Amino acid sequence: MAKLIVHQEKITDNQKLIEVCPFGAMEEKEGKVTINAACKMCRLCVKKGPQGAVEYVEDEVREEINKDEWKGIAVYVDHVDGVIHPVTYELLGKARELAAVTGHPVYALFMGKNISERSRELQHYGADKIFVYDEPELDRFKIEPYTAVFEDFINRIKPSSVLVGATTVGRQLAPRVAARMRTGLTADCTVLQMNENTDLSQIRPAFGGNIMAHIKTPHHRPQMATVRYKIMNAPKRMEHKSGEIVNCTIDREKLKANVEVLDIVLKEKEKFIENSDVLVVAGRGVKKQEDLDMLHRLAELLGGQLACTRPMVEAGWMDAKYQIGLSGRTVRPKLIITCGVSGSVQFAAGMNHSENIFAINKDGKAPIFKTAHYCMVGDLYEVIPQLIKKVEEKKGA
């Protein structure tokens, strides 16, 4: 970054120079003028201070990376005991689209224990090469050996871009690998676009969803991004197999971990809202916690689940795992019914790819109506009971 350098020997009056700064970013310590974190780089001290007392130094010119040495788009295969997470297939589909722009290959990185047979499933999703690290030490996710394998893969193959699912494992692993490779990482991307010069445009909501940040990493490789589940479209499974499986090895010393897993306690299975085909969403228009029973009944009749917006969680009415939005979960059901939901950009970003969006709100100017496919202006306390009655009659028939 650019910086200001103070040349104390050229200052005749410390206090006079300090008063030049309108932000109070200059102060005197032990008889010398220093610049603190309040500095806005306005450079008034350079212009109005004594000649040469403060020097503005530009960034050093970066050494351009040889982009021709980095080719291909790699996808990290997220899994638990060999069961591949669906976000992996979504990322393989996106990688195929991006690779079509540059003509580069698509790679899959699969690491774990006893996964060689499982890796064959990836041949149905368009990867050109599937690199498999099958080692006993990789039986469960441990950050040190997994990072070592990831680093070995990148140094060996030199992919231009790396895509990782924003899962529990992906959110831990991607930053560690990015730091190891001294490159950038953009988290929770909603749009990925490839330029012909292999620069990856990584787009994501920022400042609470009020702007869309357009991020590039032109001076480093690989370019890294994480993407939430249900954001991209998964390709259809091909009947025929394609792509080559490459079995890889790594120095066993690199697989040592300083963390020992003593026991694994399986959680009771639960149904996540991300996997539900039908969702009924409770918004700020719900007046009392007891009224959620009415929405839960509708969801039950439709074979779906009850979800919510952030205010419901903050009020303590529902658990955070049922929250939709940038600070919650991203969903893509076949049908979503929003009840008393205003439709902030933060909420809409988590559900705007749903197949059918049905919105109920008594405010005809609510933002949710700009996102919804079907809009009903009305009080949810009048609409929902009638809707429940209609569905019950239909089911009875």
For the chain, the structural domain boundaries read 3-57, 67-254, 273-396
Its pTM stands at 0.77
Q: Is 357 annotated as a binding residue?
A: no
Q: Is 384 annotated as a binding residue?
A: no
Q: Is 192 annotated as a binding residue?
A: no
Q: Is 221 annotated as a binding residue?
A: no
Q: Identify any residues that bridge with 280 across adjacent strands, giving them in sequence order.
A: 306, 337
Q: Which amino acid is it at 220?
A: H
As a CATH number, domain 3-57 is 3.30.70.20
Sequential pLDDT tens for the chain (397 residues)? 678 999 999 999 999 999 999 999 999 999 999 999 899 889 999 999 999 999 998 765 556 789 999 999 999 999 998 999 999 999 999 999 999 999 999 999 999 999 999 999 999 999 999 999 999 999 989 999 999 999 999 999 999 999 999 999 999 999 999 999 999 999 999 999 999 999 999 999 887 667 888 999 999 999 999 999 989 999 999 999 999 999 999 999 999 999 888 888 887 777 889 989 999 999 999 999 999 999 999 999 999 999 999 999 999 999 999 999 988 899 999 999 999 999 998 899 889 889 999 999 999 999 999 999 999 999 999 999 999 999 998 877 5
Q: Residue-wise over 137-147: b if at least 16 C-beta within 10 A, else e?
A: bbeebbeebbb
Q: Is 279 annotated as a binding residue?
A: no
How much is the pLDDT for 256?
92
Residue whose structure tokens are 């638990």: 80
Q: Is 332 annotated as a binding residue?
A: no
Q: Is 327 annotated as a binding residue?
A: yes
If you write DSSP's letter for every residue of 6-45 in order, what string do you get? E-GGG-S-HHHHHTT-TT--EEEETTEEEE-TT-----HH
Q: Which amino acid is it at 24?
A: G
Q: Please choose, from the candidates 358, 352, 351, 355, the residue with its C-alpha nearest in 3D space to the C-alpha of residue 375.
A: 358
As a CATH number, domain 67-254 is 3.40.50.620
How much is the pLDDT for 221?
95
Distance of CA 89 to the CA centre of its chain: 16
How much is the pLDDT for 396?
73
Domains 67-254 and 273-396 in one fold: yes
Q: Is 309 annotated as a binding residue?
A: yes
How much is the pLDDT for 127?
94
As a CATH number, domain 273-396 is 3.40.50.1220
Q: Is 361 annotated as a binding residue?
A: yes
